[in-house]
Amino acid sequence: MVKDIYFNQDYGLLYEKIENGKCEIYEFQNTLGSVRHLFIKREIPIRLPDGEKYYDLTTPYGYGGPVMETADGTDKRKLAQAFVLDFGQYCKRENIVSEFVRFHPVLENAVDFGEFYDTAFMRNTIQTRLAATEDPLLSEYSPSVRRYIRKALKQGVEYQVYVNPESLDKFRELYLQTMERNKADDYYYFDEDYFNQCLNLLGPQLVIVEVSWKGTVIAMSLNFVSDGVLHVHLTGSLEEYHGLYAPNILQYALLRWGLENNIRLIHHGGGRTNDPDDKLYLYKKKYGRAQELEFHVGRKIWNSEIYEQLCREAAVEVGSCFFPAYRQNLRVKEEVK
């Protein structure tokens, strides 16, 4: 069974409210192996003359998609093909019209299923490899980042790492301040209920980093740990302490903790956009210079006839770049991390 947090049902449950849907898992097995697929099933808020309720599927915030487990030498293509045929029948029974998948860059499941989805490369994501290099601080971090870390520590900046924290209140406050300062999109705002659920559902897999200076907390990050991988999730910092390089210490603390706890890599995600000059991407790249990972999305229309009817009802072009096209003018829209 895949142990990465993005395939944990409790993680999916965390996003039911945000996506206005229900987290479900579809499991397929035959002599070639097994496939597990976690997704959010959403009712499509458009009524057609037939009076039926229709649904679409999306990956919860982050990454996911179908993932297979096989023995060495297994024909993965045949397993993927068998899964898609079986899953297609499920979608037909459940009135599922379309599906949007954010494939997992670390697990590279886009390679296994890309032939059966309309896939597109979106952007590279950054990893800090801990197990694959003798000194990740030297091989993965840029010289400028190493210099900033030395300066921060010399100035008395300190850090602490907490696993399974008792509360996320302090982090939530700092994170919201950061989002407001950066005028972030609504997509990156999470309410109090989200953080409470995060703690209740995923507590043992939460890693909090707290950076302080002279007794004042100046930066924090919320991270997920599972199966030897640290996923950087959300970060926040106080702007007035910018000169103390707190964001660099957040990353350094994760690296030190990871090395002490048998973590093989830290996954930072990518930029806010697909632009190779995206500022966030270029910043993250300073922590993973050796090998980047590819992030792909997948689109699938399971019922083309109903998909076209929904598009006509929504007064949008079937071939719109937005997917699914019929949601283009609705409040709930697809985003990519």
Interatomic CA distance for residues 66 and 103, integer angstroms: 8
What pLDDT was estimated at residue 290?
86
Tens digit of each residue's pLDDT (9 = 90 or more) over 110-144 = 999 999 999 999 999 999 999 988 899 999 999 99
Tens digit of each residue's pLDDT (9 = 90 or more) over 149-188 = 999 999 999 999 999 999 999 999 999 999 999 888 888 8
| Same domain assignment for residues 154 and 115 | no
In a domain, 279, yes or no: no
The structural domain count of the chain equals: 2
Interatomic CA distance for residues 58 and 102, integer angstroms: 8
Neighbouring CB atoms inside 10 A of 102's CB total: 24
Scan for tokens 């790492």, then name that residue: 161
- DSSP letters spanning 23-62: EEEEEEEETTEEEEEEEEEEE-S---TT----EEEE--SS
The CATH number of whichever domain residue 149 belongs to comes to 3.40.630.30
Alpha carbon 150 to its chain centroid, in Å, reads 31
In a domain, 179, yes or no: yes
| Same domain assignment for residues 166 and 209 | yes
| Same domain assignment for residues 75 and 33 | yes
Q: Which domain holds residue 74?
A: 5-124+295-327
Scan for tokens 């599922």, then name that residue: 96
| Same domain assignment for residues 257 and 137 | yes
| Same domain assignment for residues 108 and 145 | no
Interatomic CA distance for residues 196 and 104, integer angstroms: 26
Instruction: Give the residue ranges of the chain where pLDDT is below 50.
Output: 332-337
In a domain, 273, yes or no: no
What pLDDT was estimated at residue 1?
66
Could you tell me if 123 and 271 are in contact, meaning their C-beta atoms sit under 8 angstroms apart?
yes
Could you tell me if 175 and 236 are in contact, meaning their C-beta atoms sit under 8 angstroms apart?
yes
| Same domain assignment for residues 138 and 209 | yes
